[in-house]
Structure 1
């Protein structure tokens, strides 16, 4: 992480709110989105899913380092911890107009 990498307050407050609502430990998976930046997928202790879009992978790593998030990957444990309910499935499958 470079010293010039800063984390937006909005991303930090979103991450802290997610942890407060869904418990510790909260796993965070940082994935590159190409030109759009990076996506930090959050998996709460209760299995809830969330995400935060940041400008770069470095910013995502900085977000994980500066908040109460546990860096993770999409391994067996993380996948098993995620609980995708019917409401979330409908939201993901909704047509984009």
Structure 2
């Protein structure tokens, strides 16, 4: 039984490693497209962990990893700066356009739902 558990554990570890590598590749593509990037990693509950990326040009995006450990591994593999919280100078780098403002205004003042 112990051997079976070790095989299962090693398969899970290999799967997690592949997932982190795929995320790191996606992060790398974002970095290339936006002249560099920084990130913030946040646990979002049962759904996993969110990696928020902010490019040097103000562009932003996010990815979701199944676990915090995989997200942390992905940003380490990508070699980008990781912030503990989405605040201050890091958050100020985000550039939003009319679409985002319209959506946020709709949410705040009873506009159309986001469904």
The TM-score normalised by the length of structure 2 is 0.69
CA contact (8 A) 1:7 1:62 kept: no
What count of residue pairs does the alignment treat as equivalent?
93
Residues 6-64 of structure 1: CA deviation (Å, up to 9, x unaligned): 2514322211110000012x111000110111000000001111001001111111111
Moved over 4 A (4+): 90-94
Map 1:1-97 onto structure 2 (within 5 A). Answer: 4=13, 5-8=16-19, 9-24=21-36, 26-72=37-83, 73-90=85-102, 95-97=113-115
RMSD: 2.0
Distance 1:68-1:86 versus aligned 2 partners, 3 A rule: farther
User: Mind listing any 5+ residue stretches in structure 2 that lack a counterpart?
Assistant: 1-12
Greater Cα offset, 68-77 or 58-67: 68-77
Between structures 1 and 2, the one with greater helix share: 2
Greater Cα offset, 6-15 or 67-76: 6-15
CA contact (8 A) 1:32 1:38 kept: yes
User: Mind listing any 5+ residue stretches in structure 1 that lack a counterpart?
Assistant: none
The TM-score normalised by the length of structure 1 is 0.80
User: Matches of 1:85 and 1:37 in 2, distance apart?
Assistant: 28
